[in-house]
Structure 1
């Protein structure tokens, strides 16, 4: 676990945000498909060596070998849901494994779609877990799925269908959630020379296409930026945080963190290529922060950071339409509710809504990290406005996406003592 001190040690400063995990996984798989379909290598630049990215690099190598194989997806839900239809499109016999909560994360959409298009699907758990085996070659046609499930299923199919011999249609039977992640996928596909045409309720995808691009640079990660905006908001001395490496025009859904934390009361804006954040009312009651109502259906990854900020705002904050948060590395609605209450805050679940009533200062104590990197990183900021130290379990979970997070936190003046318990 780790211990974050309370008080005014957080001085702020500048840091370069790590590259986007979401963009990197897409680029690595498209780079592999460039080698498979056009025989051209694609150099992917600005990668960050997290566990999810390492797992994707291994998987990309297996894809390029062709003919099937066993893919260990680690704990990456994105990798698993992207690569299943891609492997099916390439054909052969494949086996997928994973660990942590990944084996329990739903795959039922593929259990219905893939057999209907010529691919055997076997995992013995009704399409709900790992290990999974598939065999055969995906046939083109019409693929229908709900839009209110994880956008990862949509992305996986959008990446796979261009590889098929004939044209296909991907049709959504309900409104699409996490639109930003699908927009990101479409942008990366265009960058690799792949054509996808919008139609009413979905996309027409011509078959027989090739992926091709000599190089690709991964953009900065807006999801990770949210943790540092939370710290800027909660700094009791109004520390200035300067974030580099972010695209103002990014299609990442979590770019909305600028608006979300701005509505909490954080002063935030661009100065050249830096995003600069400071709470100019830090010494006022509640740090001058106020609650708000949020529809989180398109910004699920930034909810943990925003929830910690909400716990220290004046008034009530409601995180609505958060059902998909229950299907992440942890049930993040419950995880954040329990953690905030354990630290002396006031939080409650109302169905798939998280309701937080702010307090001026947390009491401190121990909260469970739930083996969830985003829960742990969010709670690091809680110590900035706590009467006593905040302890969070399972600090090692940050290795999934951001192994140097605590180093960056300490470099900005935060105090994080990471303890290895025997």
Structure 2
């Protein structure tokens, strides 16, 4: 276990945004399904990436990191039941369950942290309707056997887009055609758009319909060298740091035409009052009023339905913005690595913010400065990273610093590179 101590600083400098974790999960799985040698790069060596590589190996592929890339090659499928350790990665779990089912491979899925408690009921209800036996006591471990059959798949769009993505990977492998039909409105649409983009890159076609998606069967994934774009959800932490800590902060490695829903961070922080300009593909964020009360920032209303991962960073900026910020339609954050709404309410309250939780969001009244103090990281990478921006104003000690390894192991290094103060203290076991 470790703690990180953030101390006040004016930030300024450049950062190379890491490759998108969401795009990398998808590219690694598609590459494994080609049955041919493929290289996916760049890839950050985060815990979630190792979880997906574990799943790829359980499929019978060879997969190893080499110089910031992952090389995948066909291998021999393991005999007997495949055991898939998904770590704490919800994407790994929900993407791989239907893929193993489509291949008719008996598999047992295990996980750690909060993953065994996270919702999986969409699959436990749906897969038995299509030829797959599911054994579970309600979460993980979960065992499947039998071969997935084509047909109509009806599922909600507001629990997690990861269930839809898992089916989009699996259904093209079946002999017959299938259709995915949404029974509730789709949330986090950007993640589905990203899935469809990666599928096209690997030669798989899916057609959007008025009800969902039509998926032709009998398709084959085609080998493709894949370049992983930068992660817009991680860029949000540096925009928040620039809003509180001044800047200028130059963000490299982001695609302006990305389909990632979190690309909305640029417009959201502009609405807060942060100046952001693009120069030769680099986004430069600066707050020349960082030395003033409220830093020239203003509160606003934020619908987080399509951008749930940005809520922790948005909440920290809102804590310093004049007036009231209301974040709504974020109830799904209660079933992430932590209850992120409760975690951010508790953490920001602990360091002096005026914040209260609602059923589906947060209400924050900004203050010119925060008192600082000690906050619980709740073993949640996004909570720990979000609080770095608060540390630009006041001293903040955050527990569970090691949790950043899940998605962005180089975060503290990159935060220091723009002038941030982050001292990590190993607390032992």
User: Do Structure 1 and Structure 2 share a fold, with TM-score over 0.5?
Assistant: yes
Aligned mates of 2:336, 2:360 — CA distance in 1: 14
Counterpart position of 1:419? 425
Q: Which residue in the other structure is 1:187 paired with?
A: 197
Q: CA deviation at 1:92?
A: 2.1
Mapped partners of 2:224, 2:155: distance in 1: 33
Residue 391 (structure 2) pairs with residue 391 (structure 1): no
Query: 1:272 aligns to what?
Result: 280
Question: Contact 2:11–2:242 (CA<8 Å) still a contact in 1?
Answer: no
In the TM superposition, 1:20-419 aligns within 5 A as 20-35=20-35, 40-64=36-60, 65-66=76-77, 68-125=81-138, 129-235=139-245, 238-386=246-394, 389-419=395-425
- SS across alignment from 1:239: strand
Gapped regions of structure 1 (runs ≥ 5)? none
Counterpart Cα distance in 2 of 1:124 and 1:159: 26
The Cα shift of 1:114 comes to 0.5
How far apart, CA to CA, are the structure 1 residues paired with 2:10 and 2:227?
32
| Cα distance between partner residues in 1 of 2:24 and 2:11 | 31
How many residue pairs match? The answer is: 409
Contact persistence 1:191–1:213 (CA under 8 A)? no
Partner SS for 1:257: helix
Alignment TM-score, normalising by the size of structure 1: 0.95
The match for 1:12 is 12
Could you tell me how far apart the structure 1 residues matched to 2:135 and 2:260 are? 34
Deviation of the 1:10 alpha carbon: 3.1
Counterpart Cα distance in 2 of 1:225 and 1:86: 31
**Contact 2:324 2:364 (C-alpha < 8 Å) held by counterparts:** yes
Residue 43 of structure 1 deviates from its aligned partner by 1.0
Using the TM superposition, give the Cα deviation of residue 214 of structure 1 relative to its aligned residue in structure 2, in angstroms.
2.8
Give the secondary structure class of the aligned counterpart of 2:82.
strand
Instruction: Tell me the secondary structure at the aligned position of residue 134 of structure 1.
Output: strand
- CA deviations 1:344-385 (Å, max 9, x no partner) are 011101211210111110100000000000000001111112
Mapped to 1, the partners of 2:131 and 2:334 lie a distance apart of 32
Q: How big is the shift at 1:284?
A: 2.3
CA distance in structure 1 between the partners assigned to 2:282 and 2:88 by the alignment = 32
| 1:281 shift after superposition | 1.9
**Residue pair 2:201, 2:224 contacting (<8 A) in 1 also:** no
Cα offset, 1:11, TM superposition = 3.3
Distance, in Å, in 1 between the alignment partners of 2:277 and 2:102 is 44
Contact between 1:3 and 1:391, CA under 8 Å: does it hold in 2?
Answer: yes
Deviations 1:59-87 (A, max 9, x none): 11221344650000000001100000011
SS in 1 for 2:124: helix
- CA distance in 1: counterparts of 2:114 and 2:288, whole angstroms: 40
Residues 66 and 90, structure 1, Cα contact 8 Å, conserved in 2: no
- The SS at the match of 1:381 is helix
Contact 2:39–2:226 at 8 Å: present in 1 too?
A: yes
**Separation in 2 of the partners of 1:199 and 1:360?**
49
